[in-house]
Structure 1
């Protein structure tokens, strides 16, 4: 099982490597690397700003709808192709992931909260995030 830091390691490994394919779909009909990284940044920002403060207090959280998920993904893809630079996308992704890690350090990850009436611990939520990372890292590393 990886950690939230594996995403930072990957982003840092991209530093200084020029990549002509960054803004092109990694496979026909798929997102570009830029869109995948922006997607991760948007979800990290959502986790950091909208979820984490409530999770740390053990509060009940509302679930998000499929429509909200699609909307967030669409906004991330649009952002990735809005003219921002490769460096801006990577820097934003690094910033939000590092902020999450900083907040979680030293926290009790057994703390529970509920999402849609399902009790879940911070540890379980983070493990789900790491699985999401692994899914996209596989895509990003595909040749």
Structure 2
């Protein structure tokens, strides 16, 4: 089981290598919506920063065996994240903040025991995660965020591939 945890943390941490590559992206393109009515790459990265901080500061401290957790509505985090990305912050600043937020979260994850990764809890009144079909645990939660990272990474890469070549 420890090997699975180590692999999960490595996948979660690897997102930073990809984020670092975004330094090469044109500043204007980084602040251009990926589609009509959609976020910019900057807003997407900001959204991930805000979620990483929320997980670290609010949720993880409560993730204990049989705990009953309530997560905020997505917009409570997504709205300020979107506003921050449009506040005049630079691409480099956002990238650095993402790397710092993820590194901080990874450091704390590395200190967790195997038991802590698999202790189950209730999240928003649900014992079973409706997306994965598994009980809520720190392991399952971080796995969902690896999927979430990859989902946004694909969105940004598709957008960049379309727009950097034209």
3-state DSSP of counterpart to 1:21: helix
Task: Check whether the contact 2:59–2:71 (CA below 8 A) recurs between aligned residues.
Answer: no
Distance 2:75 2:111 in 1: 33
Task: Kindly report the root-mean-square deviation, in angstroms, between the aligned alpha carbons of the 2 structures.
Answer: 1.8
Which of 86, 89, 93 is the aligned partner of 1:84? Answer: 89
**TM-score normalised by L of structure 2:** 0.76
Map 1:42-121; keep pairs closer than 5 Å: 42-55=50-63, 57-58=64-65, 59-64=67-72, 68-107=73-112, 108=114, 109-117=117-125, 118=127, 119-121=135-137
Q: Which residue does the alignment assign to 2:14? A: 6
Which of 95, 103, 123 is the aligned partner of 2:139? Answer: 123
Higher relative contact order (CA 8 A, sep 6+): 1
Runs of 4+ in 1 over 6 A off after TM superposition: none
CA drift of 1:78 comes to 0.6
Summarize deviations over 1:108-127 as a string: whole Å, max 9, x none: 22222221341412111111
- The structure with more helix, counted as a fraction of residues: 2
Larger Rg: 2
